[in-house]
Amino acid sequence: MRNKVTVVGAGNVGASCALRIANKELADVVLVDLVEGIPQGKGLDLLESGPVEGYDVQITGTNDYAATANSDVVVITAGLARKPGMSRDDLLFANYDVVKGVTQQIAHHSPNAILILVTNPLDAMCWTALQVSKFPKQRVIGMAGVLDTARFRTFIAQELNVSVSSVSALVLGGHGDTMVPVVRLSSVSGIPLTELLDEATLDRLVDRARKGGAEIVKHLKTGSAYYAPSSAAVEMVESILKDQKKVLPCAAYLQGEYGIHDLYVGVPVALGANGIERIFEVKLLPDETAALIKSAAAVQELIAALRQKTGV
């Protein structure tokens, strides 16, 4: 049996996800969008790359959720992206409506799927999808930490002029300006980062990682990042479909872990065929815990605003 992945939203992130899934031959892909013609056109264009690239998967573009039935994994990228001067949180109410509608369709047609949320504000959109789908929490996961960590790793590698493959890092917390790059647990081939870089440099890299999304938005002016975000989402898809159980920082629904209750926050998890198979609770120092709690409080504020506006 071939795997089936639906990507909702055939915009920049969604189409890039479809391309990366096809390139890796992970699954047949169904690309869905609200706008007529866009998923059909991009889907066909992607399919026609197959003979040259050497991939052999089906790629279908559609506006009809019937075609998504029985997907193994669904990546939700539908919604508005930020423009310069906007924060991710400015997208809250508009994207709530989008993610709610999409999730209703997906839950109906693919009741056993694992959902990977990409739409911002990420942690609040995960919460929305969990509420609407009523799926178990293990099957509703957010992509943010893999991207934030990739950005942090990139900046560390650039600073030290070493291969990025030697850099491992950890970013916890919500996907916003309060995210928590944990310097103490980041290293270069096991050498603690704190031995390689002085505090001022580390602070500068942490700050750049935190604002990594805004840096791209500022350059692009008309949208937000999509190459690295799609790479990050597809690493999660791959770990699930191949049951790799990779340990990746993802937005997970916490119910007491890290002292956080009923909120999506980025933490290290093992991703396998069942979705989130384990949440790793890392012992944090007091200042790291404080930063994580502050980040969770920012997510909580968005959920409170959503509850107030929607009555959920």
Ligand X SMILES: NC(=O)c1ccc[n+]([C@@H]2O[C@H](COP(=O)([O-])OP(=O)(O)OC[C@H]3O[C@@H](n4cnc5c(N)ncnc54)[C@H](O)[C@@H]3O)[C@@H](O)[C@H]2O)c1
Q: Catalytic amino acids?
A: 175
- Which residue from 63, 84, 68 is spatially nearest to 30, judged by alpha carbons? 68
290 scored as a contact of ligand X (CB under 6 A) = no
Q: Does 149 bind ligand X (CB under 6 A)?
A: no
Q: How far is the CB of 254 from ligand X (least distance, A)?
A: 18
Residue from 18, 74, 98, 284 in contact with ligand X (CB under 6 A): 98
The alpha carbon torsion through 304, 310, 311, 312 (nearest 10 deg) reads: -80
Kindly tell me which residue out of 59, 73, 81, 150 binds ligand X, with binding defined by CB under 6 A: 81
Contact characters 173-212, ligand X, x per CB under 6 A: --x-------------------------------------
Examine residue 78 and tell whether it contacts ligand X (CB under 6 A): yes
Q: Considering the complex, what minimum distance in angstroms separates the CB of residue 73 from ligand X?
A: 16
Q: Round to the nearest angstrom and report the end-to-end CA distance of the chain.
A: 39
Q: What is the DSSP string of 57-84?
A: --EEEES-GGGGTT-SEEEE--S----T
Rounded CA separation 226/14 (Å): 8
Rounded to whole angstroms, the Cα distance separating 65 from 88 reads 27
Contact between 33 and ligand X by CB under 6 A: the answer reads yes
CB 208 within 8 Å of CB 216: no
- 172 is a contact residue toward ligand X (CB under 6 A): no
Chain positions 113 to 132 lying near ligand X, rule: CB under 6 A, are 118-120, 122
Separation between Cα atoms, residue 304 and residue 301, nearest integer Å: 5
Query: Judged by CB under 6 A, does residue 144 bind ligand X?
Result: yes
Residues found near ligand X in the complex (CB under 6 A): 8-14, 33-35, 38, 77-82, 91, 95, 98, 101-102, 118-120, 122, 143-144, 147, 175, 223-226, 229
